[in-house]
Amino acid sequence: MTFVVGLDPAHRSTAVLHLAAMLARSADTDLVVTVVLPETWPMAAGTADAEWRGYTRDTANLVLDHAAAVLGGEVRAEYLLHEAASARRGLAELAEQRGATLIVIGSSSAAPVGRIALGSESDALLHAAPVPVAIAPRGFRAASGARVTRVTAGYRGTASSRDLVLGAADVAARVGADLRIASFAVVPPGSATSGAGLDVEQRIADDWADDVERHAAAVLAEVSRLENAPHVERTVIGMGATWDDALEHVEWEPGEVLVVGSSTLGPLARVFLGSNAAKVVRHSPVPVIVVPRGAAIPEPA
């Protein structure tokens, strides 16, 4: 088992390396740290083209040298350049070639510090990855020797959410972390001058929260029957006037990761973020792992 770590060839990213190291330590696995370079054309032998190729390789090697310095000897890692038609295809190819169970990437520099933004390549990767994809928030740091302490499963009350929770429970058990279920909702302020609109919205939200907690309890009963069941914490509901408010309504701890599932509209065994899942990813204050629909899950005894 190994994790593939994708680095930006133009930037010395530290956040993705901190996340990759924390995940690798927790799972006791190796890393394949790579920079994906565009494939060269054999017929392009001009001096300018050769100089450009040399420059991009030199820059990419500096990025890999920086990665080796950041990771040091804390985790087992291999560093390599990989040529492909695009970063998305290159990371997916390496994941399949190496039998990787996870791809780790960083956020776009367009994100606020502590949040996640997807660039064109990372967004395309999430729609085509054959395995789960972990995303580090911009500026993410983990203490030396840090491990995953809690796995929070984003829950929507659907059949696919049930599968996601069971998969998250398996991840939590493998890394020795606790498991928590969380659901999030945006409750807009009432517009009626009497305040009745707000009261109705709140009652609907409260009913929804009761339903989520009831359904989550049934799924957690299944988790308790798993062969290696993790310690389970109480289900939490995050509500707010905005997605930022909803995510901040629940407490987060160092070493926590949020696991979200693909949309039920997504193709089997491929990642495809639904609109709400994408909003949760963008506003999450902790690293996020996006799991493809149809991923293998453990079954309760």
- Predicted confidence (pLDDT) at residue 70 exceeds the cutoff of 80: yes
Q: Does domain 151-291 have CATH number 3.40.50.720?
A: no
Q: Greater confidence, 191 or 210?
A: 210
- State which fold the 2-136 domain adopts: Rossmann fold (3.40.50)
Q: Which two tokens stand for residue 54?
A: 């040399």
> In this model, does residue 20 exceed pLDDT 50?
yes
120's tokens: 């064109």
Q: What is the pLDDT of residues 204-255, one digit of tens each?
A: 778 888 888 888 999 999 999 988 899 999 999 998 889 999 999 999 999 9
DSSP states of 81-98 as a string?
Answer: EEEESSHHHHHHHHHHHH
Confidence of residue 187 (pLDDT cuts 50, 70, 90): confident
- Could you give the CA distance from residue 11 to residue 1 in angstroms, rounded to a whole number? 27
Query: Per-residue confidence at 295, pLDDT binned at 50, 70, 90?
Result: low
99-154 residue pLDDT tens: 999 999 999 888 889 999 888 888 888 877 888 899 999 999 999 999 999 999 99
Q: Distance between CA 216 and CA 155 in Å, rounded?
A: 8
Q: Is it the case that residue 169 has pLDDT exceeding 80?
A: yes
Tell me, what's the pLDDT at 206?
Answer: 80
Does the fold of domain 151-291 match that of domain 2-136?
Answer: yes
pTM (2 d.p.)? 0.87
Taking the C-alpha atoms of residue 28 and residue 78, their distance in angstroms, rounded to an integer, is 15
The predicted structure's pLDDT at residue 298: 54
Backbone phi and psi for residue 250, each to the nearest 5 degrees, phi listed first: -110, 155
Where do the domains of the chain lie?
2-136, 151-291
